[in-house]
Structure formats: structure tokens, C-alpha cells
Amino acid sequence: MQLIDGSRIITEACVRAGADVYVGYPITPSNWFYAYAQKRFPLFLAGPDEISVLQWMAGFSAAGRLPVTATSFPGLALMVESLNMAHMMELPMLIIVTQRLGPSTGSATTGAQGDLLLLRGALSGGYQIPVFCPSNFEDCWNLTYEGIKTAIRYRTPVVLLTSKEMVMTYRSFDLSSLPEVKKVERETPKVELPYQSYRAGADGVPPFVPLGDATHQVRLNASTHGNLGLIQKTSDEAMANTRRLQDKLEQHIPDFTFYELDEEPGADELIVSYGISADAARDALAELRRRGRKGSLLVIKTLLPVPPAVLDILEQYEKQVFVEENLPGLLKELIYGHARRKNIRSVNKIGSMITPSEILM
Amino acid sequence: MTQPILSTNNMPFCPGCGHGVAIKNLAKALEEAGYSPLDVIVVSDIGCAGLVDPILATHTIHGLHGRAPALALGVSLGLSSPGKKVVAIQGDGGATIGLQHLLEAARRNVDITLIVLNNLLYGMTGGQMSGLSTVEFKAGKQITDDTPPFDIVKLVHEAGAAYSSRITSPGDFKAQFLEALRAPGFSLVEVACLCPSHGVKKLKDLSIVALGDLKLAHEREPGRAAFRPTEPLFAQDKPERPSYRSNIKERLGLLIAGSAGGGIQSAARLIANAGILSGLHVTMKGEYPITVGTGFSAAEVILSRDKIHYTGLEHPDVVVAATEDGLVKARSRIHAHTILVLDSKLKEEAFPNAVYGDFQKEAGKQGAALSAAARWLVQEGVLQVEALLEVARKHKHGEAMVEVLEKCKSVEV
């Protein structure tokens, strides 16, 4: 065992998975990433603001690098337009978002789970970027790797959604229990000639060739474009390309569906949680069972796009308890919208972590 | 003869627009400098300047309004093969939206040539004035506004650009583009022209309404990206076996509170590490205001025989407060069963069951919290003093901690 924090585990996993550039602007509670990245990343750059950070990252990604940053809501807000750009250009990158208490500047040193729907709605038109959410240190390691793998495999920005309590809490942890993380190798693209930056095969993912390639002309574009990467207003080709952005992720969701399900036969109640509230839910479930009652627990780790497998599990339980550190119940809203539903209980709180006993009430 | 940079001579701009002249000059300069089309990456902005992609045989990347120089910075530093040239093209609107990006690229002297096609107005949205519209131009447009324009040639020069210049006379300015392309690092060429759709009806003479020709340079090394090998942040070796005893049976939660600079976080980390050496599961987290050097500082440590999931501390079993700041912070979390370990100076407070000690006096401001917490933990058999000492001895600045802990030996049971 050794004493370690989530920021350190995530930073190390990034570099082992092949991330080579960290571009950062300091913001609490993401500062430990900034500090560790300075030591660990092959290249570290201090951006002058978060818009620059994401633009620089997009440039690095377009040149074939795998960039990472870490931020919190105020920085994420500045990044939103550039996130749309990176999504439209189909540029792999990892953005670590450490949630803190909002709204606005809120309280920088207090954790929260308040940014899920911001990420769901960040792209104009409702397009999605994968959002992975670690619920413990094993997840910090594994989901970082999966995030980078998903970013490269599907040419997309990926968000790792954490919280202050996940990345600034030390725990005794056996690092030798973590699986080996190897560099995510990019496959040599199977290029059909002439190369077109956005012509995709059956899997919906266009082969990636970096800017500066000596053989193929590469054209990347943040505006609505055809296969070649040149602006086309609403031509059939451009609309097909834009629809592909939606289909590309949808058709591969099973490849990046992550969750933990602790099912008890005969249980009719399911506790549903994610991220920093998941550990309280684990303790609550154990206590419930100690008391001789039945219950199951679903910890969702792929929050976006919502995996069909998660919906399948939810459909099997009549009673559900949604546990999340925000007031309106953002995960519940993500799944059920504003529809009135019976038998759903919400455990919500702001300002401090939800306790196991609050879940059991 | 290298291949042509332009794939067509038909410019995508309005008839009579100076942008076309600028792009043709740029293409000629790139060819004369020896660049093949695939050696060049053009980063285009939004607006009229962003219409260039389809006429170029180069790599192209078309991004957001105002961000071309920032996107170009990432591309330039990210390229893995040498001999490439990154050219960013934007208008006066883009240059002012993202002014920070021009300054930052210039400050770092990153190898980019930025062409600012300045037609003194926002062409695509109806001819509104920009931050580069001169007072004379505005007067010619019947707009009374004596706010002077930015001089971006001077601004990027002040920020450190290797080369910056402004061209206001139409014709052949390939030579200036060549100078810019050959400058070691960041170069900017502002090409002023009049917009045939919104600007020239009454204004024919560019020399009256634009800032004058200018050329500035710095001798600087270009800013480069030094990718370097690094060491892992941790090893994944099999952990050593714990070698100390602890008598705790259940979970024990400590809240250590004091003042900023009082060694609270170090004390808590030391205790957590000593817990691990004693075969316990531990968590430790700090709590502090945004300010770093003033106000309270508090830390929570949980020691447990079993694996810890939830890391919150609803009701601390033990509260250690070495200063008034700390006690104020901890007060709301003190319950009937909380064990209190307080400095004697806080004795006037009404806590009859508290354990008091002269921690500040004996261990000083920085050692008081550690002294108080360690004494209690050792006295109760939660941790052995040797476990704490072993951690302190390995600590970079552990001498003072060792000194504090040595004094706790006497209370060990």
C-alpha cells in the first residue's frame, strides 16, 4: 500500500497510454494535474487562458499528437466553442474536468457533481462527446486509458469527469493491483486514394492522417464540410458527413460502455450513482444488506452517450434511488427528463459529500 | 521549379478585393522560398480571409473566428517533421477577437507566419467597424468615432515577434512575404486594403485611411517544443509488508485543524503514511480556503482495519485543534462523543472533557498540530511512535518533525 491521490494516478495513466502533450491553465481543484503534468508529460505548455489551451491542443492533435488538459467549470465554459471545433474536426484529445461547487465561480475548493448536463448540451445540435466518470482509483487508471483509446479509435475529444474529492483525496492503495497500461498505438490508416480527410468506411471513422503529411493533402474543417474537408453549406454530402458525426459514436457505444453492477437476486430496488457519490452508495448498500434488506447498485462510468446497456438494467428495477451531488438530479434528468415517474427517489446535496446514511433514509 | 501553391488563379473574393492580390503574392513567396504544397499548412480563420482553403494545394485547417494564430501555434509546435511552414490567415475582425493569441504566439516566437488581411471593417456581417478601423476611415464612412485603432504590427513587435510589417500599397509585395517567411520565429504581415463591397465607394485612397507602411524586427531564437523523456510518477512494485502495530478495531476518523502554515497537511499525511506502515487502510484530505497563506487549514484522516470506500467524515471521533483558527473551523463538527485534543491556550473554552497540552509552547507554531495529534495517537496505542518516526525520517524536511515526535516517546504505552 502507498498513499496516493487520484490526480497522480490519472496523470501517470495518460502518459503510459501515449498522451504526449499537456496544455494547461491552472484552476482549483485541477491544479495537481498541472503540477504532475509538468514532471511527467514529454511536453508541457502553460496556456494564457482556456480558449488558447483548447486551440493549442487542437493544433497538436491535428499534427498527430495526443494532448491532455485538466480544468473546472469556469475553464470548461471558455472551452465550449473550441470543443465544438475539435468535435467537428474529429480531433482526439482528453479533457479532464474536475467538478467543483457552482454556479459561476462557486467555491473552488468544494467538490460537486454539477457539470453533467453542461457536457450533454455543450455541442450545438445535441451531438455528443464520450464522457467517462471514475468512481474510485481503479477507475482513475482504467478509464483514463479507455478515454485515450476511445479518443484515438473514434477520432473524438473525450472528457474524463472527476470531482475535487476524487482527485485531491489521498488513499492507501496497492498500485501493483493496477493492470499494465500500454501505449495506445495508432493503426496505420487504410487510405483510399485520393485521400479525403472525412471519407469514412463502414465504421464511420475517417482514417486519420496528420497535417504536414508528405503524401496526402490533409484538410480539416470546423465548418459544415464534405468528405474533402472543404466548406459545403447544406449539400447532400455535407449533411451526410454531419449525420455521420452522430452515427459514428452511436454505433460503437458498446465498445466504451463501462459500469459496475452489484445485483442481488430478488432485489426490487436499484441504487444508481456515479463518480464521487458512488463510494457512499457502496457503503449504503453494504449497510442495507447488513440490515437484512435486499438491494442492488449500479455505478455508471460511461455517462455519455448514455449506453443502451445501462437503460436495459434500469428497466429491470421498479424502484430506483438516484444519488448525486447536485440539487436538481442531473443524471436522473439525463435519463428520464422531466417526466413524472413513480418510485424514483433522489438523494441530492450540495456543499459536502452525500453520506451513506443519507442514502438509506 | 516547385509545384504551385495555388490550385487555381480564380480568387474566391469579391471583384476588386485586395485579398486576392495578397494571396497570390503569398503563393509566389512560398514557391520562391522553396516550399512544395505539402510542406505548407495554412490555418484559416473565419470571415473573408477564411475563404482561401479551396484554392490552395497545401494542407488546410479552417477553425474558429479569431483563433487561427492559437490553432497554428499548436500545429507548429506539434509537427514532427522539419522543413514545414505554418501560415495563418485572418482578417482584422479575427485579429481583434483573438488578440491574445497574436501576442502569445509573438511572445513565444513560435514559427508561424500570420497574414492579417485588414480591410478595416467586418466584411461578412455588413461592413461594421473593427478594432483596426482608423479614425480617418471611420470619418470617411460618416462615422464619428475618435477611438484610435490597434497597431498590431507594433503590438506583436512589443510582444517579441521576430518580424512584423504593414503593407498599404497594392502591387508586388512578394519580397516582404519572403522576409516574413524566412524570419526565425513568429512573423506578421498586415496587408491593408479597401473592401469593394463596403469600403471604397467614397474612399479610394488607402494611403489616407490606413496606418502607414512599417517594418519591425527582433533577432531572437524561435520558440520550439522540446519533447523529452520523463520518469514515472510512481512505481508499481509489490508493497512492503507493514511492520508496526495498531490497536484500532474499527474505523477512526480524525479532524486536525489549525492555521495556515501550521503544518496541518504535512502532519495529516505523516499520520496517514504511518497508518499504512501499521497495516491500516487510510484516507487523507485537506480542506482550506482559497487563500494559501492565511486563515484556517484542516485535514481529515481516516484509519481503518477494513477497506475504506466513502472518504467523508460525518462525525470525527477525534478533533485535534492547535490554534483558535482551527477550533473555530472544527467547532460545528464537535459532538457529545468527540474526543477533543486542544492546546492549553484554548482552555477558556468550555470543553470539560478535552485533553489539553502545551503543544504550541513545546513544538512551536509549525509543530503544534503534529505534536498534539501524535501524542494522542501514541498514548492510545493507535500508532507506534516508531511508525511515525520512520515516515518523518524519510521526509525531505523531516528533521523538525523527528524532533517533535521524539518527545512523544515518553507517552508510549
Check which CATH number belongs to the domain holding A136 and give it: 3.40.50.970
Query: Between 3.40.50.970, 3.40.605.10, 3.20.20.30, 3.40.1500.10, what CATH number should domain B18-217 receive?
Result: 3.40.50.970
Same domain, A71 and A208: no
Same domain, A64 and A6: yes
In whole angstroms, what is the distance from residue B313 CA to residue B246 CA?
21
Q: How confident is the model at residue B397 (pLDDT cuts 50, 70, 90)?
A: confident
Same domain, A14 and A58: yes
Say what the ipTM of the complex is.
Answer: 0.97
Q: State the average pLDDT for chain B.
A: 94
Which of B64, B100, B302 has the most A C-beta neighbours within 10 Å, making it the best mutation to test the interface with A? B64
Look at B309 and B292; give whichever has higher pLDDT: B309
Contact A219 B229 (CB under 8 A): no
Is A300 contained in some domain?
yes
Which of B234, B277, B281 has the most A C-beta neighbours within 10 Å, making it the best mutation to test the interface with A? B234
Is A158 contained in some domain?
yes
Among A16, A56, A174, select the one facing B70 at the smallest CB separation.
Answer: A56
Among residues B19, B311, B57, the alpha carbon closest in space to that of B192 is found at B19
Which residue, A138, A155, A177, sits at the end of a domain? A177
Is A245 contained in some domain?
no
- Is B148 exposed, middle or buried (CB count within 10 Å of its CB: 0-12, 13-18, 19+)? exposed
SS3 A346: strand
Q: How confident is the model at residue A153 (pLDDT cuts 50, 70, 90)?
A: very high
Among B62, B84, B239, select the one facing A212 at the smallest CB separation.
Answer: B84
Strands B163-167 and B187-192: parallel
Question: How close does chain B come to A309, measured CA to CA in Å?
Answer: 25
pLDDT tens for each residue of A161-170: 999 999 999 9
Tell me: pLDDT of B68 over 70. yes
Is A128 contained in some domain?
yes
What pLDDT does residue B240 have? 80
Cβ(A134)–Cβ(A105) below 8 Å:
no
Which residue, A235, A250, A269, sits at the end of a domain? A235
Among B61, B285, B290, select the one facing A211 at the smallest CB separation.
Answer: B61
Picking from A26-35, A306-315, B283-292, which range would have the lowest pLDDT averaged per residue? B283-292
Same domain, A334 and A308: yes
What does the DSSP 8-state code read for residue B149?
P
Among residues A81, A70, A76, A82, the alpha carbon closest in space to that of A26 is found at A70
Domain of residue A226 covers 187-235
Same domain, A196 and A161: no
Domains: count for chain A:
3
Domain boundaries, chain B: 18-217, 252-411
In whole angstroms, what is the distance from residue B268 CA to residue B370 CA?
8
Task: Decide if A20 touches B, using CB distance below 8 A.
Answer: yes
Which residue, A128, A148, A177, sits at the end of a domain? A177
Is A307 contained in some domain?
yes
What pLDDT does residue B203 have? 80
SS3 B20: helix
Q: How confident is the model at residue A356 (pLDDT cuts 50, 70, 90)?
A: very high
Show residues of chain A in contact with B71, CB under 8 Å: 55-56, 58-59, 62
| Average of per-residue pLDDT across A161-185 | 97
Query: Between 3.40.920.10, 1.10.1040.10, 2.40.50.100, 3.40.50.300, what CATH number should domain B252-411 receive?
Result: 3.40.920.10
For B215, the enclosing helix (H) or strand (E) is strand B214-217
Same domain, A171 and A191: no
pLDDT tens for each residue of B6-25: 999 999 999 999 999 999 99
Q: What angle do CA B159, B162, B164 make, to 5 degrees?
A: 80
pLDDT tens for each residue of A232-250: 999 999 999 999 999 999 9
What pLDDT does residue B204 have? 77
Same domain, A140 and A74: yes
Strands B85-91 and B40-44: parallel
For B296, the enclosing helix (H) or strand (E) is strand B296-304
Q: How confident is the model at residue B1 (pLDDT cuts 50, 70, 90)?
A: low
Question: How close does chain A come to B141, measured CA to CA in Å?
Answer: 32
Picking from A8-12, A112-116, B192-196, which range would have the lowest pLDDT averaged per residue? B192-196
In whole angstroms, what is the distance from residue B217 CA to residue B67 CA?
24
Burial of B114-136, coded b for 16+ CB within 10 Å and e otherwise, reads bbbbbbbbbbbeeeebbebbbeb
For A150, the enclosing helix (H) or strand (E) is helix A137-153
Same domain, A54 and A95: yes
Is A182 contained in some domain?
no
Same domain, A210 and A308: no
| Average of per-residue pLDDT across B192-212 | 87
pLDDT tens for each residue of A94-125: 999 999 999 999 999 999 999 999 999 999 99
Same domain, A219 and A350: no
**Residue B154: Cβ within 10 Å count:** 14
Q: Which of residues 291-350 of A touch B (CB under 8 A)?
A: none
Same domain, A165 and A192: no
Residues contacting A312, CB < 8 A, separation 6+: none
Check which CATH number belongs to the domain holding A264 and give it: 3.40.50.920
Q: How confident is the model at residue A204 (pLDDT cuts 50, 70, 90)?
A: very high
Is A240 contained in some domain?
no
What pLDDT does residue B349 have? 64
What pLDDT does residue B287 have? 84
What pLDDT does residue B348 have? 67
